[in-house]
Amino acid sequence: MLRWHRDLLRRRHGNASCPKRPGRPRTIRSVRVLVLRLAGQNPNWGYRRIHGELAALGLKVAAATVWNILKEHGIDPASDRDHATWTNFLSSPSQAIVAADFFETKTLAGVTLYVLAVIEHATRRVRILGATAHPTAAWVTQLARNMVMDLHDAGAG
């Protein structure tokens, strides 16, 4: 009777206690493809940056998992960032970088004016886009549009 009961329990619950495959399940294929795509499109990104981008997309993947995926496909997880210096960053697209800032000044009549100035990084040329006593978002937007059109015309001619 006891033997019959033991055999019954073994048949009924034997498979439930044994997992089909030992260890953790593999990472979902779509996540693996995305990791490889991000690494391919952004060669200067290391595994931590890719992990951060996946987290920003709402995917919960461990940094070590990203490391392992890259390593399995022959991609260096900690990519060489020697060439990605601040100086190189500023010099490569410097033709397209401008910095803008407001400053205030008083006229001889005592009126406070807010001046929008822009410096072009490539030429170090300073442009005064406009001055007003009451800057608004629409005013700044229009000045920016005008400047972009001027830069486009200067580049074409």
What does the block give as tokens for 144? 């920016």
At the topology level, CATH places domain 94-156 in: Double Stranded RNA Binding Domain (3.30.160)
Closest CA to 90 of 124, 41, 43, 118: 124
Closest CA to 105 of 96, 117, 95: 117
Q: Which helix (H) or strand (E) holds 6?
A: helix 2-13
- The pLDDT of residue 11 is 76
| pLDDT-flagged residues of the chain (< 70) | 13-21, 79-85, 87-95, 155-157
- The pLDDT of residue 84 is 61
Contact yes or no for 77/47 (Cβ under 8 A):
yes
